[in-house]
Amino acid sequence: MLKQKLSRILSRKWNKKEKIITAAVIAALAGSLAAALIYISHKDIVVIKEPVFYSYLGEEFNYEGKTTLKWDKNRMHMQNEMIDGSLSPGGTPLYMEDRESLIVTSMMSYTNPDTNYMRRLSYFGKVYYEKGMCLLSVDGRRKLEVNGGYLFDGDNTWIFLEPTTVTIGSNEITMEPMSYITVKNKDYFYYYSAGDKKSVFEDWTGADITASDEEVTWTLNLSRDLLTTEDGKIQMLIPNPEILDVIQ
């Protein structure tokens, strides 16, 4: 199935950035993987020593053994003894085996539309739950307790930190916190739903893809990178998270 999806995707027209990312992913997925976080050897390398879960293009992968994440030239590279070469996750999060925490693989903006709070969660940042509260951590020491909102990589991937309803035409998908979705507009989308632990890949239907919180105090248009707040104001999403201040 994954081979067929990759073949279909390769037959489409890509911009330069997508070609680079996709080529790296395909090369790596030809072999296998592994992963999970434990210590940082220096600011651009993380060594993971516990199993991880990875969902990509609607397919699921579980990996064991030591994995190294390296940030180099604005891209994340993932290496493991079971990987042939290296994998570039592109923005797809890596989940710990219990799926109660994840590592972001790119710069991401954190936004809580209800409080107008916006900061940056850098690569290697961790999202996890502790005593029922969602925490964002930059380096294992600095933590931010958050109450809802979402993470956005500035391109096409969102990680939801509160129950969210994704709407595609007349179809509604309920996503629990820690779910993510990647939208390649006018082409395809794929997501991992944390509540029912389901990974899905679908071709784009032509309808805009939106996401709203439970009380519908905010709505994201994932096809157009727009945020509509409770007072009806519409704003563009920030395409470059690196310009934001890091979370404190």
Per the DSSP assignment, residues forming a β-bridge with 39 are 47
CA 126 – CA 79 distance, rounded (Å): 19
Q: Are 218 and 111 in contact (CB under 8 A)?
A: no
> What's residue 83's pLDDT?
62
> What's residue 33's pLDDT?
33
> What's residue 24's pLDDT?
45
> What's residue 5's pLDDT?
62
This prediction has a pTM of 0.83
> What's residue 49's pLDDT?
85
Residue type, 186: K
List Cβ neighbours of 236 (8 Å cut-off, separation of 6 or more): 225, 226, 227
Would you call 98 exposed, middle or buried from its count of C-beta atoms within 10 A (0-12, 13-18, 19+)?
A: exposed
From first to last of its 248 residues, what are the pLDDT tens digits of the chain? 655 665 555 555 545 444 444 444 444 443 333 333 444 445 688 888 888 888 999 998 888 888 778 887 677 777 766 666 666 777 889 998 888 899 998 999 999 999 999 999 988 899 998 888 899 998 766 788 999 999 999 999 999 999 999 999 889 999 999 999 999 978 999 999 999 999 999 999 889 999 999 999 999 999 999 999 999 999 999 999 999 999 87
